[in-house]
Chains A and B, each alone.
Chain A
Amino acid sequence: MRYRTYALLVSVLVVSLLLLSLGNRGGGARRPGDLIAVVITPLETALTTIHRSAVGVWSAYLVWKSVRRENQALRSEVERLHVRSLQVDETQKENLRLRRLLALRDRLPLSTVAGEVIAKEWGGWVRSVTVNRGRSDGIARLTPAIVPEGLFGRVVEVRARAAVVQLLNDPSSAVAVMVQRTRTAGVAEGDPMGTVRLKFMARDGGIQVGDLVVTSGLGGVFPKGLPVGWVTAVEDRGSALFHYAKLAPVADFARVEEVLLLTGQTGADLFPQFAARPET
């Protein structure tokens, strides 16, 4: 066995040396290499082709992976930018609202406190919002709350750092008003459906659809001249002593996020301040 192993080694060495010397002689002596090359060249070509294909597939896979990763990164970037864009948009809108509120505040001849709506009660029984201003900010019960468009409601409950504002369309809300055009007095009341109705207005007042209704200042709760709403329908109740009408409030209760609380008192008619409000 051992002899065979060494015999094999010697044979291999002899063949190798023979090949080497044949190859080194030149002329036709390169034949051994050429003969082997005849066999291995096609195999080599095939192996190289397979290898290149495998490398190509692998490269394609790597590119696909990289593109996928890049795609995911871009998607998340787009998502992030979209959120950012929404935030910017929201900030711009807030900025606009606050500018309008500030402009109104500067025009009014009485002291005010700006408040942010922090909660809303929107059921049929009660319609109110909670603002982040309370007793510590000088807010008292029945303080009027306004928005740049006009009357919003009044404070019905005051806490240390918050106040509950009853909206104009709350079923238990009643505000002394008058038709701005004819100066005919009446009462604007909320109803369970969330609309505002005009009651107790003299029949000879000449009320019309499209008339603007403002606070009359009677009762001392609201200053005179705050826009309340537009007459959208007049109800004719035959021989009734008073006119009844439906109002579209000037304030969009569902969208209000900031209000002005009127902490000061004034006997002046505030309507010119609202009438002078620039349209935006």
Chain B
Amino acid sequence: MRLTLALALLGGGLAQTSVAPALRIGGVSPDIPLILAVFLGLSRGAEVGCLSGFVMGLIQDAAAGGFVGAQALTKALAGFAAGQIAGRLWVSDPLVQVPGLVLLTFAEGLTRYCLLQFFHFPASFGDLMLYVVLPQALYNGALGAASVLALSVAESWRSGSLWR
């Protein structure tokens, strides 16, 4: 189980630079590590969410050649927040999970921007939010919804309920 999780984290971290560009729509790519971190946080709790966000963020940072540690921090926070929400709210419904993912993506973007201000990140806040963070948040929501649907179909198929 731990091996699967480790592979998922490694794959998730690396998928962002290899698979995600192929999923680009209108210049917007989904943030696969963030989606994974949020779902792991929601399903496995704050600790797993936090650690997985950190690992995948770190891989993403190293792979992308940006500020190493920035995404590790923000994704760790996002995974942690997802785990905290899961402990307090009823989040098993996709109608909660998907908007939650959109909001957390937006919050992660906002946090990253704020963090990078300490390192004199030059992009303007308005442009970044409008053209990068918001479209990515929406895309993450759509991809998250598709993933939840695919998982539930796979689960139904595995338990045989689809044929009854």
Contacts and interface: CB of A to CB of B under 8 A. Distances in A.
B146 interface: no
Contacts of A110: none
A47 B15 contact: yes
Nearest to A14: B73
A51 B18 contact: yes
A5 interface: yes
Contacts of A19: 58, 61, 68-69, 72
A70 to B, nearest CB: 25
Contact of B80 (A9, A15, A23, A51): A9
Size class of the B contact interface (CB-based, 8 Å) = 20 to 34
Contacts of A36: 58-59, 61-62, 68
Interface string B133-162: 000000000000000000000000000000
Provide the main secondary structure of the chain A interface.
helix
Which of the four size classes fits the interface of chain A? 20 to 34
A36 B61 CA distance: 9
B74 to A, nearest CB: 8
Contacts of B70: 16, 20
A44 B47 contact: no
Given A9-B80, A40-B59, A15 B69 contact: yes
Contacts of B10: 43
A48 interface: yes
A73 interface: no
Interface of B: 10-11, 13-15, 17-19, 22, 46-47, 50-51, 54, 57-59, 61-63, 65, 67-70, 72-73, 76-77, 80, 83, 115, 119
Interface of A: 4-5, 8-9, 12-13, 15-20, 22-24, 30, 32-33, 36-37, 40, 43-44, 47-48, 51, 55
Given A12-B51, A13-B76, A16-B54, 17 more contacts: A5-B83, A8-B50, A16-B70, A19-B61, A20-B70, A20-B73, A22-B69, A30-B68, A32-B69, A33-B62, A36-B62, A40-B13, A40-B59, A43-B10, A43-B14, A44-B17, A47-B15
